[in-house]
Structure 1
Amino acid sequence: MKQVYQLLNLIIFLFVVQFLGCKKDPPSYPVGSNAYVNSWILDSLRRYYLWNESLPKKINMDQEPQLFFKSLLHANDRFSYMVNPGDPGSLPKSNRNQFGFDYSTLSTADGKLVFAVVKYVYEDSPASRNGLKRGDYISKINGQQLTTANAAELQKQLLTAEKGRLTLAAFENNSLKDIRTVELNKGMLLEQPILRETFRLNAKTIAYLYINDFSPGIAQSAISDFTVLKNENIDALVLDLRYNPGGQVAEAAGIAGLISGLPDDTPFITYTGNKNGGRKTESIGQSASSDGTLQYKQIVENSLKLKQVYILTGTTTASAAEVLINNLKPYVNVVTIGEKTRGKDEASFVIKDMQPLKTVPWEMHPIIYKLSNALGAGDYANGILPQYDVNELEALPLKVLPSLDDPLIQHAIALIEGNRSQDKQRASKRSPLNSLRILTDSRREQTDQDMLHLSN
């Protein structure tokens, strides 16, 4: 089976190379012109794009390529994008890859008090090196006081700047008092490690894992964490995906295998494309090993073989993280706690010029497939609703992860211990700032550029 799957992948790869690099009928436009690039874009989308039948008939081929690409996208397409690796201006931008942190801007109902809350700070990032931490309050960005009118614009400024200045504040009598200023310079962001903790509470051993994203190799690196947890004979696992925007389907399948220990031939995911792409189903072994970073045998040997898992979700939980939730459900009791997820039940792969001497510098990431699990369940474009609706912002200040005072972790442990009285305790600790509403969320607003990639 493995050899057949590898051969199929090779055939697909060679077809893509042939299609993109050796067209039978090259466009009759000057190489390097907008029309030349746009012809390549259009031909590719006609072949692979999920909504290829909706492509317009009359098209202005002289547009700037990125604008041309966007003009072709279906109204329901929130996630396809295109970049030129040689042009930094075309690359997706976010607070996390600029400075290494994410935040939400909050406002009281009357709009008189507006401030930002730092939700996550990446290790060894410009933000962490300048002392920024989860739970910090921000009153000003680049010297401007946050208001309901300028919150979105100040977010855009951070996305496009090489530098940023944050004024941190503390609450005194429900009002903000500035305490210090943090100067940030754009810097390199490294892959984030898995965060692991074990809680021993009332004769139960409860494991906690935070996974930041499903970048290539994360399942391989997680094997050591799962081995430790296996040796600790844990009673339950809490998997924190509240800020996980996705990544590779292979990595999600690998983590699913480490949780469940499913045999490698267990049906895991179905891809449904246009009439050219058709429909195909992969086993968990095929999916997990498809990017070449591990052998599924390693997964089974180190798996926890759990029948139940508690997964923490948020509004930025997306793509591969949602696949993990949805596609474990046929085999494991998945208990979700948090907020409704982003809603990305689709997948893409990279399309680029494969010729030795490239004539097209762009790379497309169009939506190719709709996704479903082994039972045919999918269709969560509006997000996956949690079984237990818990908003982490109900208990400010945010606690450093993992903390037993974090509302999501606290609720998971209450469920594990069968102690529902903690719901009342949680309610009593809610923020004294009533009716807070989110004006901006830096992670959510950039999730559109975090794709669930197929491994060709």
Structure 2
Amino acid sequence: MKRFLTLIFVISLLSCSKDEELSIPKTIDPIPSADVPVQNFMWKAMNFWYFWQADVPDLADDRFQDAENYTEFLESEEEPGVFFDNKLLYIEDRFSFYNSDYRELTNSLAGISRSNGLEFGLVRKADSEEIFGYVRYIVPNSDASTKEIERGDLFTGVDGVTLNINNYIDLLFGENDTYVLNMADFANGNIIQNDREVSLTKEAALAENPVFISKSFEINGITIGYLMYNQFTNEYDTDLYEAIQGLKNLGITELIVDLRYNPGGSVNTTRVLASMIYDTNDDNIFLRKRYNDKIQDQLTETQLVVNFTDRVGSNTIDPLGLSKLYVLTTASSASASELLINSLEPYIDVIQIGDVTRGKNEFSTTLVDDRENSYLYTPTRVNKINSDNQWAIQPLLGRNENADGFFDYTDGLVPDIALKEDFGNLGILGDQNEPLLARAIQEITGATGKRSFTVENPIEIMTSSKMFSPFKDKMIDDTVYDHVITLD
């Protein structure tokens, strides 16, 4: 692995004055005989970091008067996951989550997972509890890439059992390393199971390079760049840089960024991509952060602002300098994908084509039981994590606002040009006749021709394979701040 994704929040004390320190106040500890290390870690970390801390009565600073009272609360739920969900989360929080093993979580955030390489969407049949799946794409060098299965293929069952809303999680996302998909055909408006079967095996530590397609088209004298980017993973920032630089060297004057299956990821990688597309002037505001009042009141305006950048690792960015960007989206485009659109809006014309996005403007980070490091996961400190507690939580820390102060898109970003995917006509990704890409090309070139973009079988996505990885639809705060954290 090139390097771990982490929130870099703690730097040398020597670089900051006492006035710049961010302080975590001391809280009550449980009685020594209590066996609640996970619940204790969860409460203390959430009490300080959680964006909605003030809105959850059980997270109030004065909630507990003594160790006995606090211990009784921690012991109220034996299962840590239930404790986290039932006692610590704000009712409107759709995205905070936990994992019993921080290594599984951090690997996922680095683009590594246990997977067979099949990326698919799931759709509920009309007026039925049954579900069918459609293949979105295949991860290169995976088990699925060696099998006879491709984009657009449909399936209705697993191991001979028809998929429905009650069994699909166990069948597709359970502990079974191998399963057999029962394939289907689409004919006369109906999805009909056929006799074809495809056996797939999940493999550990499958790494997916999110730079899936990078190519250009010469159409009507216009050189158009196309980038399909499937996750904002900072381990692959160099690959992203090389893809954009390659398009620049080809002389593109227009760019289409395909984020239709991108669930989000690194804030810093999003900033890097925005800088490569638009400009590297670090006086321009990329985003402003809003934390809970406990943290917000301790930070200066400078510490709350993230500007554009001129660097990708050791590489200097030579920006495309575009004044217009075309972005392809679906309901699976989330968090950092939405951040890219929203943060560029004050500077350039962003033409969104496709479906309404998921609607996630909050950011998170990985917290582990390392109190001396203010619970922040840092790869070099894994030996400092409490040996009695390997759990990690990924709570929402705050929300991002663009340079104009806009952040209110919890219902999703609405496309300028609405066009849903059609499971009866998905097309080939990267082919200029694929419907969403073709519509973007039409908008760029102005050549309408006789093509119709009528959607006969619109996909109303229920969920997707990416939503069952530990990564899910997260926006990870890994930008660098010029302050430190101390413990009172």
TM category (shorter chain) comes to 0.7 to 0.9
1:108 and 1:436 in contact (8 A); partners too: no
SS of 1:416's equivalent in the other structure is helix
Q: Does 1:138 align with 2:138?
A: no
2:253 and 2:322 in contact (8 A); partners too: no
Q: Does 1:377 align with 2:394?
A: no
- The aligned runs of 1:15-164 (5 Å cut-off) are 26-30=29-33, 33-34=35-36, 36-57=37-58, 60-62=73-75, 63=77, 64-71=79-86, 72-85=88-101, 97-106=114-123, 109=126, 115-146=132-163, 150-151=164-165, 153-160=167-174, 161-164=176-179
CA deviations 1:355-376 (Å, max 9, x no partner) are: 6362432222111111111111
SS of 2:74's equivalent in the other structure is coil
Shift of 1:305: 0.9
Residue of structure 2 in register with 1:166 after alignment: 181
**Bigger mean CA deviation after superposition, 244-253 or 230-239:** 230-239
The percent of aligned pairs where both chains have the same amino acid is 28
Cα distance change, pair 19–13 in 1 and its aligned pair in 2 (3 A): farther
Residue of structure 2 in register with 1:426 after alignment: 453
Letter in 2 for 1:43: K
Shift of 1:265: 2.6
Find 1:263's aligned residue among 281, 285, 304.
281
User: Distance between the aligned counterparts of 1:447 and 1:318, measured in 2?
Assistant: 15
SS of 1:225's equivalent in the other structure is helix
Q: Does 1:402 align with 2:430?
A: yes
Letter in 2 for 1:426: F
Shift of 1:107: 5.7
User: Distance between the aligned counterparts of 2:471 and 2:359, measured in 1?
Assistant: 10
Residue of structure 2 in register with 1:3 after alignment: none
Residue of structure 1 in register with 2:348 after alignment: 332
Letter in 2 for 1:61: L
**Normalised TM-score (structure 1):** 0.83
User: Distance between the aligned counterparts of 1:352 and 1:37, measured in 2?
Assistant: 10
- The aligned runs of 1:346-361 (5 Å cut-off) are 346-354=362-370, 356=384, 358=386, 359-361=388-390
Shift of 1:78: 0.8
SS of 2:293's equivalent in the other structure is coil
SS of 2:168's equivalent in the other structure is helix
Residue of structure 1 in register with 2:329 after alignment: 313
User: Distance between the aligned counterparts of 1:317 and 1:168, measured in 2?
Assistant: 26
Letter in 2 for 1:415: E
2:427 and 2:435 in contact (8 A); partners too: no
Shift of 1:340: 0.8
Cα distance change, pair 9–319 in 1 and its aligned pair in 2 (3 A): farther
Residue of structure 2 in register with 1:213 after alignment: 231
Q: Does 1:413 align with 2:441?
A: yes
Letter in 2 for 1:313: T
Find 1:294's aligned residue among 313, 319, 334.
313
User: Distance between the aligned counterparts of 2:112 and 2:428, measured in 1?
Assistant: 19
CA deviations 1:241-268 (Å, max 9, x no partner) are: 0000111100000010111123123111
SS of 1:60's equivalent in the other structure is helix
Letter in 2 for 1:60: F
Cα distance change, pair 50–107 in 1 and its aligned pair in 2 (3 A): closer
Find 1:391's aligned residue among 397, 420, 431.
420
Shift of 1:313: 0.6
Q: Does 1:183 align with 2:196?
A: no
Shift of 1:9: 4.7
Name the Cα RMSD after superposition.
3.5
Q: Does 1:243 align with 2:261?
A: yes
1:155 and 1:442 in contact (8 A); partners too: no
Cα distance change, pair 74–92 in 1 and its aligned pair in 2 (3 A): farther
Shift of 1:306: 0.7
Letter in 2 for 1:294: G
In structure 2, stretches of 5+ residues that fail to align are 1-7, 64-71, 373-383, 481-488
CA deviations 1:82-119 (Å, max 9, x no partner) are: 22227979998999853222323446646599642111
In structure 1, stretches of 5+ residues that fail to align are 1-5
Cα distance change, pair 259–117 in 1 and its aligned pair in 2 (3 A): same
User: Distance between the aligned counterparts of 1:222 and 1:403, measured in 2?
Assistant: 20
User: Distance between the aligned counterparts of 1:199 and 1:156, measured in 2?
Assistant: 43
User: Distance between the aligned counterparts of 1:142 and 1:13, measured in 2?
Assistant: 59
Cα distance change, pair 13–392 in 1 and its aligned pair in 2 (3 A): farther
1:151 and 1:439 in contact (8 A); partners too: no
Shift of 1:11: 5.3
Letter in 1 for 2:41: W
SS of 2:276's equivalent in the other structure is helix
User: Distance between the aligned counterparts of 1:120 and 1:104, measured in 2?
Assistant: 10
1:316 and 1:447 in contact (8 A); partners too: no
Letter in 2 for 1:196: S
1:152 and 1:440 in contact (8 A); partners too: no
User: Distance between the aligned counterparts of 1:260 and 1:357, measured in 2?
Assistant: 40
User: Distance between the aligned counterparts of 2:13 and 2:431, measured in 1?
Assistant: 49
Find 2:209's aligned residue among 192, 196, 201.
192
